[in-house]
Amino acid sequence: MQPDPRPEWPTLFLIAACYGVWALATTALWSVSPLLSLVVATLAITLLSSIQHEVLHGHPFRSAVLNEALVFPAVTLLYPYRRFRDTHLQHHRDERLTDPYDDPESNYLDPVVWAGLSRPVQAVLRANNTLLGRLTIGPGLGTVAFWRGDLRAIRAGDRAVRTAWVLHLLGLLPVVAWFLWVAQMPVWAYLVAVYAGHSILKIRTFLEHRAHEKARGRTVIVEGRGPLAFLFLNNNLHVVHHSHPAVAWYRLPALYAARKAHYLRKNEGYRYASYGEVFRRHFLRAKDPVPHPLMGQAGNAPQPPGRLPDPPIRHAAE
User: Averaged over 158-183, what is the pLDDT?
Assistant: 97
Beta strands in the chain (DSSP E): 221-222, 271-272
Q: Taking 60 as the threshold, does the pLDDT of residue 305 lie above it? A: no
187: pLDDT confidence band, cut at 50, 70 and 90? very high
pLDDT for 4 equals: 54
What is the per-residue pLDDT for 297? 56
Residue 298: per-residue pLDDT: 43
Percentage, residues of the chain above pLDDT 90: 89
Min mean pLDDT across 34-38, 117-121, 296-300 is at 296-300
Cα–Cα dist 137/311, whole Å? 13
Asked if the model's pLDDT at residue 37 lies above 60, the reply is yes
Torsion 150-152-153-154 (CA) sign: positive
pLDDT greater at residue 1 or residue 126: 126
Residue closest to 216 by CA, chosen among 281, 274, 262? 262
pLDDT tens by residue, 204-257: 999 999 999 999 999 999 998 899 999 999 999 999 999 999 999 999 999 999
- For the chain, domain boundaries: 9-282
Q: 47 vs 311, which has greater pLDDT?
A: 47
Average pLDDT, the chain: 92
